[in-house]
Each structure stands twice: as C-alpha cells, then as structure tokens.
Amino acid sequence: MGTIFQLVDFDPNRHHTLLLKLLRAKTFFGEGASSSVILPQEAAWCRLVVKQLVLYPRGYRGTVMRQWFPWGDLFMMRKQLVTLRKFTKIA
C-alpha cells in the first residue's frame, strides 16, 4: 500500500513538508499540504508545530468539507501527536 503524500522538503531533526500527490486524493480532499517544525524549548523539551493548508473542492462537497474536515483533522492530528510522543519516550 502506497502513501497519498509526497515528501517535498526535509531538514533532519528540524522540519518536513508533505503534499498530496495522488490525483484521486486531490479530487476528493482538494489540494493539501502539511508542514511540521520542531522548535527547541529547553534542554530536554521541544515544541512540535504542525500547519496544514487545504484548498477545498468547489461546490457542495467543498462546502461540507470546509465545515467538518477541520474537526476530523483536529482529532487525527492529536492521535498522531500522542503516538509520536509515545515513540519518543521509548527511544
């Protein structure tokens, strides 16, 4: 199974940027990009900042997605960040 994202920018231990690459995904979700940046805070702490940009499809589907997808993204992003935190504690 492949991924729907393409890695377009990467700086080890600093940031990465992903773009939707599959035409089917772009048709359904619209154009989308996501960037994650690690900001050092103290000796043993950091802050992970995630920014997403979505250009929703036109029409009724885009209107519905504009209302509901941010809530789904919030739920899924929290799940991903909690999972990432677990992995960092293991390493």
pLDDT digits (tens, 9 = 90+) for 13-63: 899 999 988 888 887 878 899 999 988 888 878 888 889 998 988 889 889
Q: What is the pLDDT of residue 91?
A: 58
Total domains, the chain? 1
Q: Residues 64-77: what's their mean pLDDT? A: 88
Q: What distances in angstroms separate CA 50 from CA 15, 35, 81, one per listed residue?
A: 10, 6, 10
User: 3-class SS at 4?
Assistant: coil
Candidates 73, 3, 7, 55; CA nearest to 35 is: 7
**What does the pLDDT read at residue 72?**
87
DSSP track, 5-22: EEEEEEETTTEEEEEE--
Q: What's the pTM value of the predicted model, to 2 decimals?
A: 0.72
| Residue ranges making up the domain that contains 81 | 5-90
The confidence score (pLDDT) of residue 24 equals 82
